[in-house]
Chains A and B, each alone.
Chain A
């Protein structure tokens, strides 16, 4: 972990109406970051915005020293981040936090991303693909237009051709279900309006995979409501999984106790708070106590 007050921006790309990818050059982070870890970013010097914002490491290139962040504009901080251009710089602390535990060799893996939740899972996919593991990747979004990185994910999964199910349908939405072909290396898509892939939540696709008993380890990132469903599915099928959580963060290094989440275990019977920035952001799905 290090403190890098001026990291140069190489590129800022707009991927969808409100999602951006920013690439930076920081060999130390590129060399040491593990999938699931995050960077704590001071977007501007001074008071606007005041606090740092946490972003998971989205991709790294250990040869060139490049790192990438993927984010959705959701508030003041990300709006200001979206105004950054090539040649500007960001102030970074990182890599921080506990990342994903990598699967055992030969384990059959599925990644489940809801919306911008693909951000850390893409780095995990890069790492798995590099190790010869070709997981199933389930991508969810509200609409086809909001789907992120389908082609890049497909390339990493098997270097293959996009499956028929990924074509955007002009006709009746929801007439097509994400098909469950043979393992490994499938990319399946779900959209809320059925404009691409399965119509419905991405967790429907996970339920299908788990019912087929073809998955031994699941990694998920997305909205809390989605992760809660993922955790209950994993519990029902007795499959291990990890989830990457998000919470409003202060210091990012475990000092301020702002970004806690409820987890099982610890001193108390019902729950104990653990820090998303330090004990997380990745937790065992079964350890998290989900809210309503």
Chain B
């Protein structure tokens, strides 16, 4: 049998396969080069950037919970300028699209970061982070309601010609409603989901474990929530979906694709196994061969019976 087609198209962007890295878990890519060939990935999504450098939250910033982790990094990043001069030149050497995640304190700041990145050649797309649960500004205050989410989307679309992917939060009453508003505002694709707000308390110290008190839950524990979100959003919007949330193996990734995701992103699993992305990619290919499916696109949303 011929090798199955793994290439997918997201927001006009041709990806050689549907396996991406989830923002915040893969640094700026270089950290993982001792473990895998970045050329093999569908795309690399880097850590969120803001206009100015950010120090992030006090420690502890991470705690393991049942089948998951809570993190409260707080968007620590060197700022967009430093990224472009220090980190991007080596990352763009790879034959893999680079998607840059952006965040801001204000709508204007999102637009300003988008504009700066658009002027730099070689960036494939922007992922707009309106769903970080760990910052007072530049996170959920935009992502938690349809009007705010649409406003940021419109502002970024107005500031860039690059494809715009909007990353949504599951910490809302109706993710489908927000997806609809963001799609109407011009989003080219959606990333689902960011982390779930959570908390852990140290019973010996009788204090919250995290320095920031609350954090974002990720890992296998959130996967059913994420699959449900993709399922719901797929039924109401036509823009392509990138699915993520607790994917650690190929079967997990296929759940998202069957629910309606055209691509998937691997996050927490990179910490357990730095080669997780490659193993998931190989597993998807193996599944297609074994089930004699010629094209991954045949599986997108295939679990829906309309």
Contacts and interface: CB of A to CB of B under 8 A. Distances in A.
Interface in B258-284: 268, 270-275
Q: How large is the interface on B (under 10, 10 to 19, 20 to 34, 35 or more residues)?
A: 20 to 34
Contact of B35 (A3, A76, A249, A267): A3
Contacts of A33: none
Contacts of A255: 25-27, 31-32, 47, 270
A1 B35 CA distance: 10
A72 to B, nearest CB: 15
Nearest to A249: B62
- Of the listed residues A42, A76, A248, A249, the one surrounded by the most CB atoms of chain B closer than 10 A to its CB is A248
A243 interface: no
A251 B219 CA distance: 13
B67 A248 contact: no
Nearest to A53: B64
B252 to A, nearest CB: 12
Q: Secondary structure at chain A's binding surface: helix, strand, loop or mixed? A: loop
A50 interface: yes
Contact of A256 (B24, B53, B220, B248): B24
A253 B272 contact: no
A273 B57 CA distance: 10
A28 B172 CA distance: 49
B63 A248 contact: yes
A217 interface: no
B282 to A, nearest CB: 15
Contact of B25 (A3, A256, A261): A256
A258 B71 contact: yes
Given A255-B31, A255-B270, A257-B56, A50 B25 contact: no
Interface in B50-66: 53, 55-56, 59-64
A142 B174 CA distance: 54
A51 B271 contact: yes
A50 B222 CA distance: 14
B69 A250 contact: yes
B73 A257 contact: yes
Given A47-B67, A50-B64, A254 B31 contact: yes
Contact of B73 (A77, A247, A253, A258): A258
A2 B34 CA distance: 8
A163 B56 CA distance: 49
- Of the listed residues A50, A77, A247, A249, the one surrounded by the most CB atoms of chain B closer than 10 A to its CB is A50
Given A253-B31, A255-B25, A267-B53, A50 B272 contact: yes
Contacts of B76: 257, 260, 273
A248 B59 contact: yes
A35 B271 CA distance: 24
Contact of B62 (A49, A250, A272): A250
A24 interface: no
B56 A260 contact: yes
Interface string A209-249: 00000000000000000000000000000000000000111
A14 B73 CA distance: 36
A37 to B, nearest CB: 15
B221 to A, nearest CB: 9
A125 interface: no
Interface in A92-150: 93
B148 interface: no
A69 interface: no
A98 to B, nearest CB: 15
Contacts of A249: 62
A247 B59 contact: yes
B52 to A, nearest CB: 10
Contacts of B274: 3, 93, 251, 253
Given A51-B271, A253-B274, A258 B64 contact: no
Shortest 3 CB-CB distances between A and B: which pairs? Answer: A255-B27, A258-B62, A255-B31
Given A50-B64, A250-B71, A273-B56, 15 more contacts: A2-B34, A42-B272, A49-B64, A52-B271, A250-B69, A251-B271, A251-B274, A253-B274, A255-B47, A256-B25, A256-B27, A256-B62, A258-B62, A260-B59, A261-B59
Interface of B: 24-27, 31-32, 34-35, 47, 53, 55-56, 59-64, 67-69, 71, 73, 76, 219-220, 248, 268, 270-275
6 contacts: A3-B275, A50-B67, A51-B64, A248-B59, A251-B27, A260-B76
